[in-house]
Amino acid sequence: MKIISYLSNLMIPFLLFYVVGYGLLSRRNIYQDFLDGAKDGLKTVVGIVPTLIGLMTGVGILRASGFLDFLGELLGRFTGYIGLPPELVPLTVVKMFSSSAATGLLLDIFKEFGTDSAAGLMAAIVLSATESVFYCMSVYFGSVKVEKTRYTLAGAVLATTAGVAASVWIVSSLL
């Protein structure tokens, strides 16, 4: 186990020396390439910051207004039949927008039900088996200015549904 830790500690310096060495061997101006990359990175950040601010503000408003609790109670009537507790509905919805906000909801579930409870285990699996769909789409497609996303949203929502279904199945088979 120590060898893996040792190798992982060496990877970043190795990668750094590899890039610098490759640049020197190919006789490129490494510093100018770095500055050009940093400029492009800043342009990308400036382009996607408004979208990120909008997403984070929207999630904050939904959470503070109590709408997520209302949605959880409303949809929880139906999701209870398939084994998904109503408390996990807001977590599933928020995770599609923001992983950090979903982590806050996960901690709330842990405090209320415990980490070893069915809801706690299911919430942990939901959080790790799903992706923040709208965040990723806005960042990745926004950074390269893709306007027609075709079937990305449908595929991502289907994958999220599969992750939630897997969490229900795994936890129900464990308990």
Mean model confidence pLDDT for the chain? 85
Q: In angstroms, rounded to a whole number, what is the distance separating the alpha carbons of residues 82 and 75?
A: 12
The model's pTM is: 0.67
Q: In angstroms, rounded to a whole number, what is the distance separating the alpha carbons of residues 21 and 2?
A: 28
Would you state the pLDDT for residue 140?
80
Would you state the pLDDT for residue 123?
92
Q: Which of 142, 140, 104, 138 is nearest to 123 (CA)?
A: 104
Residue 166 in this model has a pLDDT that exceeds 80: yes
* Mean local confidence (pLDDT), 133-152: 80
Q: In angstroms, rounded to a whole number, what is the distance separating the alpha carbons of residues 99 and 101?
A: 6
